[in-house]
Each structure stands twice: as structure tokens, then as C-alpha cells.
Amino acid sequence: MREWNTPRSGAGAVPGRRSPSAAALLLLRDLIVQKTGVFFGDARIDMLEERLDEVVAARGVPSLLDYYYLLRYDPDAAAAWGELMDRLSVPETYFWRQPDQFQALVEVVLPRLAAARGGRPLRIWSAACCSGEEPLSLAMALDEAGWFGRVPIEIAASDASAALVARARAGVYGERSLRNLSPERRARWFTREGTGWRIDPALHARIRWATANLLDEAEAGPLAGADVVFCRNVFIYFSDDAIRTVARMLAARMPADGYLFIAASESLMRLGTGFVMDEVGSAFAYIRNPDPTPEANPAIPRRALPTSERS
């Protein structure tokens, strides 16, 4: 990893001073976490620098500092943020990922919610859907359990990366995406197309796709009133503050009896977000803490945690 007080080019080094580009990189890191939630800690700063260098070169911007000003003040900043989000995204996903949560949804969560809603539509949101494997797996699980014939269900899926949402809208997948699917599901839901696999168009048409940044309440807020939210494998990339911001938005907008699914490797427990963990069938989900007071939802500083729980 590069030392922060050495210039990138080696020219003009002043001992004890950060080079202009190293300083600009840190400014960009702060701006990116504010705007997208994605935090590049010191262990991943080289990766951020590499990706920024590519974006900066592609745009023909002279330096990281110029790029910082472009993102902050340029009339073209929205387009530049879009390109950057596409570049920073980690498009790792696949069909039927952590299926215990789909089983919990169809066997435990939906029966409870359907009874409570009395025929009103149930709304499900896949909030960082990547190229669509997660919401399409949800739709498969709902169809296989007979839910579409039973109650009205709306599924929305969004991601901050417009390029990934475009891939989701296209609905054609490579072998890697299907690696966890049984031969039966592969045969039931896909047809060969070129070297890839096309998802069943009727299943695909059940999902409303959108581009939405979770940190932008104008974009994500209207989707966040869903009864069930899947927001999996995205908080692992976020700063604690960004996770809190998103969780608070969800707590404010989801119905009081809604369910939030995050990945098994993620946790909201120490962040004081107003959500508590609940066992649903053989999986865990987060539900709103009936007691919303700060005393009942303490944020535990990292240094107070046992070493094994610090990340």
C-alpha cells in the first residue's frame, strides 16, 4: 500500500507532507462514502485509486483533484456519479443465494403479512439487486409456493448502478449466475440463448426495475415503504454511518410489521438502528423494535465490543 505522505509520481516530495494526489484521493474517498455509502478503508484504498485512475483517464480529466471538483460542482456531475457508481459496484451475485431466507419468506413471513393486510397488495423490494438474480430468485420462490395466485404481490428491484440495472432488464445470464440452481429450476425457469440463459419472460415481467441509490432518499424513499425489504450483501461495503442512515430511512418508511433481510454475514445489532433480529423459520430477519427509545436501541462503540466482533 502507498504511504500517504509520499507523492504518487515521486517528484516534488516534501518529507512529512501528503502529495496533492494522495490528498485528493482522501477527499474523494470521503465524498464517495457521503454520497454512496461505500467506504474504502485503508486496506482497500489501492483498489479505489486504481478504479478512480481508470475513470479519470476515460473522462480525460487531468488529475484526481480536478475529478473531485467535477463530482462536486460540475453541471455534468450527475452523469459522472453514474459512471463512477458503475465502476465502484461489486457485481457479485447469483441465483438462489442464501435460500433459507426465501423459504422463511414464503413459509413464515408472507402468511403473517397476508393475514394482516386482508387482500391489500404485499410489496417486496430488492434494494441492491445488482444484475437481478436476487429479485428473480424471490419471484421463483413465490411462484413455486403458489403465492402469486393467492394475494396481489408487487416486486420492485433497484440498484445504484444503472449498468447493472440494464443487465437485469435484459434478463440473460451466464453460467456463473446459475451455479447454485438445481437442474429442475434451471429447466423450469431458463431457456438457452447464445452462450447464456434467458430467464422466463413472464417471471421477469413480474418485477419493476429502477436505478436508486440507497443514500439518496428522493430515489430510494418511494421504494422503502415495502412490507419486505431484501438489502443483502451491500452493507458490508458501507461505513457504519451510511448503514445507520439507510436503516433509519427504512425504519421510518417500512410498515411497523415489515421485515428486513440482510445477509448472514452482516449485522445491525451494534448500530442502534431501531431494528432487532427475529427468528423466522430457519432464517433470521430484522423487525422494528416495538420500543423505539434510544435506551432500547443503543449504539455500541466499536472499542466496547469484544475483539472478535470488531471488523
User: How far, in Å, CA of 105 to CA of 229, rounded?
Assistant: 11
Closer residue to ligand SAM, CB minimum distance, 130 or 178: 130
CB of 98: closest distance to ligand SAM in angstroms? Answer: 8
Closer residue to ligand SAM, CB minimum distance, 110 or 234: 234
CB of 7: closest distance to ligand SAM in angstroms? Answer: 31
The binder of ligand SAM chosen from 14, 47, 58, 90 (CB under 6 A): 90
Task: Assess 234 for contact with ligand SAM (CB under 6 A).
Answer: yes
- The greatest distance separating any two alpha carbons of the chain, rounded to the nearest whole angstrom, comes to 71
Stretch that binds ligand SAM, among 42-50, 61-69, 107-115, 232-240 (CB under 6 A): 232-240
Closer residue to ligand SAM, CB minimum distance, 4 or 284: 284
User: How far, in Å, CA of 121 to CA of 60, rounded?
Assistant: 49
Stretch that binds ligand SAM, among 39-47, 58-66, 154-162, 285-293 (CB under 6 A): 154-162
In this structure, the strands spanning 190-193 and 196-199 are antiparallel
CB burial class (10 A; 0-12, 13-18, 19+) of residue 230? buried
Q: What is the DSSP string of 154-188?
A: EEEEEES-HHHHHHHHHTEE-GGGGTTS-HHHHHH
Contact 278, 104 (CB under 8 A): no
What character string, x for contact with ligand SAM (CB under 6 A) and - otherwise, covers 43-82? ----------------------------------------
Give the up-direction half-sphere exposure of residue 175: CA atoms within 13 A in the CB hemisphere. Answer: 2
Closer residue to ligand SAM, CB minimum distance, 33 or 106: 33
Task: Assess 232 for contact with ligand SAM (CB under 6 A).
Answer: yes
Task: Assess 160 for contact with ligand SAM (CB under 6 A).
Answer: yes
Q: What is the DSSP string of 232-284?
A: -SSGGGB-HHHHHHHHHHHHHHS-TT-EEE--TT---TTBT-SEEEEEETTEE
The binder of ligand SAM chosen from 24, 114, 134, 254 (CB under 6 A): 134
Q: What share of the chain is helix, strand, coil (3-state, %, to 5)?
A: 45, 15, 40
Task: Assess 245 for contact with ligand SAM (CB under 6 A).
Answer: no
The binder of ligand SAM chosen from 97, 123, 204, 288 (CB under 6 A): 97
Contact 258, 112 (CB under 8 A): no
Closer residue to ligand SAM, CB minimum distance, 123 or 232: 232
CB of 205: closest distance to ligand SAM in angstroms? Answer: 20
The binder of ligand SAM chosen from 19, 89, 101, 245 (CB under 6 A): 89
Closer residue to ligand SAM, CB minimum distance, 128 or 203: 128
Q: What is the DSSP string of 61-115?
A: -S-HHHHHHHHHH-TTHHHHHHHHHHHH------TT-SHHHHHHIIIIIHHHHHH
User: How far, in Å, CA of 248 to CA of 265, rounded?
Assistant: 20
Closer residue to ligand SAM, CB minimum distance, 36 or 273: 36
Task: Assess 123 for contact with ligand SAM (CB under 6 A).
Answer: no
The binder of ligand SAM chosen from 128, 138, 223, 224 (CB under 6 A): 128
Q: Which residues bind ligand SAM (CB under 6 A)?
A: 36-38, 89-93, 97, 128, 130, 134, 159-161, 164, 213-215, 232-234
